[in-house]
Structure 1
Amino acid sequence: MNILAGTVGHFIEWYDWYIYGLLAAVFSSQIFPGSSPAMSLISALLTYAVGFVVRPLSGVIISPLADRYGRRVVMAVAVGGMTVGSLILALTPPFSAIGYAAPLLFLLARVLQGISAGSESQSAIAYMVENGSTDRRGLFGSLSNAASGLATLAATGMGAIVTSTLSTHDLETWGWRIPFAIGGVLGIVGMLLRSRADESPEFEAAVEDSAADSKPETLRLRELLSRHPRALLQTAALSAPAVAYYTWATFLPTYAHLTTGRDLGSALAGNAIGLGVLVIIVPLCGALSDRIGRRKPFPIIGAAGMVVLFYPLLLLLQHPGFGVYVTVTVSGWVVLAIWQGVYPTIQAELFPAAVRVSGIGLAHQFVIATLGGTAPLIASSFVESGHPMGVAVYMTAIVLICLIVYLTLPETGCQVTHTTDTTPPAASGSQVMLSITKPTASTKDTP
């Protein structure tokens, strides 16, 4: 029940989140006034980016509540906020009917979804990892990204269905609303599941150990920054390839449509094939990391693959044919899956349970806001300015920096146990104790 609540809720969260970016090219002219379709699209993507801007605020303000009061409550509230946002998007009349109230309602919906998403990722990651035994944490942690990949697949598939089966008129007037309405209904299911789930046993143990800790949240945040700076930097670097994930997930079909004239529906269908590959690879990598370790085989290989492949893949996309598009999208999703399969578990294992959600949330949401949320907008700007290959250069440069940081990661898996949380601030997040005995179940302590 607990794993189901975590994965299904995470799936619903990210289905609702991704469908906006995938259909922005369809509804932008209906909701956002502009001098050209390209300007309307940029306005829609700016609104999309607003949801990312508020995510760090949610990560800073709400994440400590998950460390103090529990992961389950925050996760239930998060999926509720995403549900309300999706229903607003589905029901907002067009600009021609209510004027500027239409883009303002979309802005409100994206703010709600941004707050929700800013609370979701780190809470779900911690919850999933903490519900796994020590020798299965890689697998359990990977399920959060498998769920988000499946959500992206479902959103892409739904986008492909409505764009390929409806006429242009029906799609632009009412058809694009269908995926948002479905997301709203699914959100109610997610709320029910999460409200009935149990709290993670590791969090409950951490609460008992720190029962006398009544420090205000501002002081706890300052202690997090002073005691775990290295872990925060590493967590940020583990999240930063999201610039490539969001480009591949939400903008690659639009990119292909704008630069090569490919049919948007067929491009979405091709992306769905690649996402199917990702959903299979992610849990396999997570399970394998429990046996061979996490640092070298996965984030390093995944990032190196992105650096090597992104530019030639977008060059290849200039050639016609559905098979070419499938080759491009699948190749990108393979290297993204290798990175995605383990980074949630590594992030969770870099922090003790008492500050785990706060630590992941602070670093992850800041990076997602600055890099992930702006990725489709920046990619669109490169295309609009006549430099479409700038998209590949931008992604590759960011991932290359991350790859350098990955070389500093401690090995957190494969027979690793953690020291007690008495590590001096200068060493926090940088030391691990390798055990030759059976690993314990506790990860409350600083690695």
Structure 2
Amino acid sequence: MSSVATASSGVSTPNDTRAGASTPWRRVIFGAGVGNALEWYDWSVYAVFAPFFAQQFFDATNAVSAMLSTLAVFAVGFVMRPLGGIFFGWFADRLGRQRAMVVSMAVTALGSLFIAVAPTYPSVGLVASALLLFARLAQGFGIGGEIGASYTYLAEAAPARRRGLWSSSMYVAVTIGVLLATVQAAALQGVLTDEQMTAWGWRIPFALGAVLGIYAFYLRRGLPETTAFSNARDTPEPEKQSMLRGIWENRIAVLRVVGLTVGGTVLFYTWAIGATNYAITVKGIDPDGALWAGVIANLVYIAALPVWGAVSDRWGRKTNLVIFSVGLGALSFPLNWLIQGSVWQLGLAMSVALVVHAAVASILPAMFAEMFPARVRASGMALPYSIAVAVAGGTAPYLRTYLAEAGMPSAFTWYTILLLAVGLVVIASMPETKGKKLE
């Protein structure tokens, strides 16, 4: 098939390799993307509400120590992502993309539920701290499995000529998750007192995350498996191989995933997640104004993503990659200079940066899936992507703020430009994969 309209009609052709030729395309896209939305919702909720629940899980007599312990538990979630990527990548390549999405979603939802109903430190002591740690380990493990399973599922389900457009829905979901957490935080802080937020208000977003996870679990259970996986599963046993051997044989593609991920991840964390906090703490911008500037910029980002996905379907994935790397490389210093102390400056800088960033974010599921054969597609992309995100993305906001406070704000900008240059080297060495048939 060659059009989204055909996909939604339920009509199939003999050569159709997409999941669910009779399944509405909206259901496929929503089912695959809902886990990524929940992932970033949970990530943002924990970061935003940490000041309110830190003393509920650790010794309240030392507020600073409690907060640091809470943030340390948050960091542990990133450590679990590569392990989740390894396990669920193997799971998706051996037992099915759809099954891996269902199980990873269940694990993530359970993590949110545990936090929502966990007893507090004053009532059970260190057991509360242990439960928070366990919940974050579960969330990190489940979230690590999202990438390989959901990215692969969506790419294999999409029509080849619309794969970039379908792929863009993943970061739309990611951004919706961030916005949902941000708007919810603003609303709760507007209607509840600090005492209420500390006592029980912080439980509300985690409970909502658990409910959304349960809904996503049942939604994904009804999705069909992809034909590409079914064909790979039917491969004669002698031709099958271990996950590690498959990754080794595709090591060039693995390295390309790392090289293309580090720059995009750092710049996403910098502009979509960390820019508002940086503007508040370093530039002295009003917190409420910075929050809404971030909301508007992320709405602009959502609008730009499908446009760039469609561009890649017409002009190729490498076109998007070059525009992203060269564009943000050239704009990095001007955009950072633009943020001086006004809300409109922050909003404009974030919006421009995210519009350019959308060029790469829109095509990640399609591009990574097109690099690997079906038998190792999920694990091949999940492992290097999870490691790159954990190492590069998790340190970006801290590194930017630290260098700014040390009087070296330009050092972080040069760091991002260096990562973009690494991406350009990778782009120059890789073939164009637009429209590739996924078998």
Classify the TM-score, shorter chain: 0.7 to 0.9
Q: Which residue of 2 aligns with 1:335?
A: 356
Task: Give distance in 2, aligned partners of 1:307 and 1:129.
Answer: 28
Kindly state the Cα deviation for residue 262 of structure 1 after the two structures are TM-superposed: 3.5
Task: Give distance in 2, aligned partners of 1:301 and 1:26.
Answer: 41
Deviation sequence 1:104-147 (CA, Å, 0-9, x none): 33222221111111110121111001111111111122222221
The 8 Å contact of residues 161 and 265 in structure 1, kept in 2 or not, is answered as no
Task: Give distance in 1, aligned partners of 2:219 and 2:323.
Answer: 36
1:350 to 346, 371, 388: 371
Q: How many residues align?
A: 412
**Which residue identity lines up with residue 119 of structure 1 in the other structure?**
G
Task: Give distance in 2, aligned partners of 1:49 and 1:308.
Answer: 32
Identify the range of structure 1 (334-343 vs 169-178) with the bigger mean alpha-carbon deviation: 169-178
1:235 to 257, 268, 278: 257
Q: Which residue of 1 aligns with 2:173?
A: 147
2:197 to 163, 168, 171: 171
Ranges in structure 2 where 5+ consecutive residues have no aligned partner: 1-26
Kindly state the Cα deviation for residue 26 of structure 1 after the two structures are TM-superposed: 4.9
User: Residues 165 and 393 from structure 1, CA distance in 2 versus in 1: closer, same or farther, beyond 3 angstroms?
Assistant: farther
More helix, by proportion: 2
Q: Which residue of 1 aligns with 2:16?
A: none
Q: Which residue of 2 aligns with 1:126?
A: 152
Task: Give distance in 1, aligned partners of 2:81 and 2:138.
Answer: 10
1:294 to 287, 299, 317: 317
Kindly state the Cα deviation for residue 316 of structure 1 after the two structures are TM-superposed: 3.0
Q: Which residue of 2 aligns with 1:443?
A: 438
User: Residues 308 and 28 from structure 1, CA distance in 2 versus in 1: closer, same or farther, beyond 3 angstroms?
Assistant: farther
Task: Give distance in 2, aligned partners of 1:29 and 1:147.
Answer: 32
Deviation sequence 1:24-78 (CA, Å, 0-9, x none): 4554465456998776655433322211111112222321121111001110111
Note the 1:114-263 alignment, pairs <5 A.
114-208=140-234, 210-213=235-238, 219-225=242-248, 227-240=249-262, 241-263=264-286
Q: Which residue of 1 aligns with 2:381?
A: 360
Normalised to the residue count of structure 1, the TM-score between the two structures is 0.83
User: Residues 93 and 243 from structure 1, CA distance in 2 versus in 1: closer, same or farther, beyond 3 angstroms?
Assistant: farther
Kindly state the Cα deviation for residue 311 of structure 1 after the two structures are TM-superposed: 3.8
Kindly state the Cα deviation for residue 351 of structure 1 after the two structures are TM-superposed: 0.6
Task: Give distance in 1, aligned partners of 2:152 and 2:302.
Answer: 20
User: Residues 141 and 274 from structure 1, CA distance in 2 versus in 1: closer, same or farther, beyond 3 angstroms?
Assistant: same
Matched, 1:398 2:419: yes
Kindly state the Cα deviation for residue 164 of structure 1 after the two structures are TM-superposed: 4.1
User: Residues 305 and 95 from structure 1, CA distance in 2 versus in 1: closer, same or farther, beyond 3 angstroms?
Assistant: farther
SS at match of 2:223: coil
Matched, 1:309 2:335: no
Task: Give distance in 2, aligned partners of 1:291 and 1:104.
Answer: 51
The 8 Å contact of residues 88 and 149 in structure 2, kept in 1 or not, is answered as no
Task: Give distance in 2, aligned partners of 1:116 and 1:146.
Answer: 20
Matched, 1:55 2:78: no
2:347 to 326, 340, 346: 326
Task: Give distance in 1, aligned partners of 2:203 and 2:412.
Answer: 29
Q: Which residue of 1 aligns with 2:44?
A: 18
Normalised to the residue count of structure 2, the TM-score between the two structures is 0.85
Identify the range of structure 1 (178-187 vs 71-80) with the bigger mean alpha-carbon deviation: 178-187
User: Residues 178 and 328 from structure 1, CA distance in 2 versus in 1: closer, same or farther, beyond 3 angstroms?
Assistant: farther
User: Residues 327 and 363 from structure 1, CA distance in 2 versus in 1: closer, same or farther, beyond 3 angstroms?
Assistant: same
Kindly state the Cα deviation for residue 348 of structure 1 after the two structures are TM-superposed: 0.6
SS at match of 2:158: coil
**Which residue identity lines up with residue 239 of structure 1 in the other structure?**
T
Ranges in structure 1 where 5+ consecutive residues have no aligned partner: 418-441
Q: Which residue of 1 aligns with 2:21?
A: none
SS at match of 2:438: coil
User: What is the Cα-based RMSD across aligned positions, in Å?
Assistant: 2.7
Task: Give distance in 2, aligned partners of 1:335 and 1:38.
Answer: 38
Kindly state the Cα deviation for residue 255 of structure 1 after the two structures are TM-superposed: 2.1
User: Residues 23 and 247 from structure 1, CA distance in 2 versus in 1: closer, same or farther, beyond 3 angstroms?
Assistant: farther
Matched, 1:371 2:392: yes
**Which residue identity lines up with residue 300 of structure 1 in the other structure?**
V
Task: Give distance in 2, aligned partners of 1:184 and 1:380.
Answer: 32
The 8 Å contact of residues 13 and 79 in structure 1, kept in 2 or not, is answered as no
Q: Which residue of 2 aligns with 1:70?
A: 96
Kindly state the Cα deviation for residue 94 of structure 1 after the two structures are TM-superposed: 4.8
Kindly state the Cα deviation for residue 155 of structure 1 after the two structures are TM-superposed: 2.0
**Which residue identity lines up with residue 78 of structure 1 in the other structure?**
S
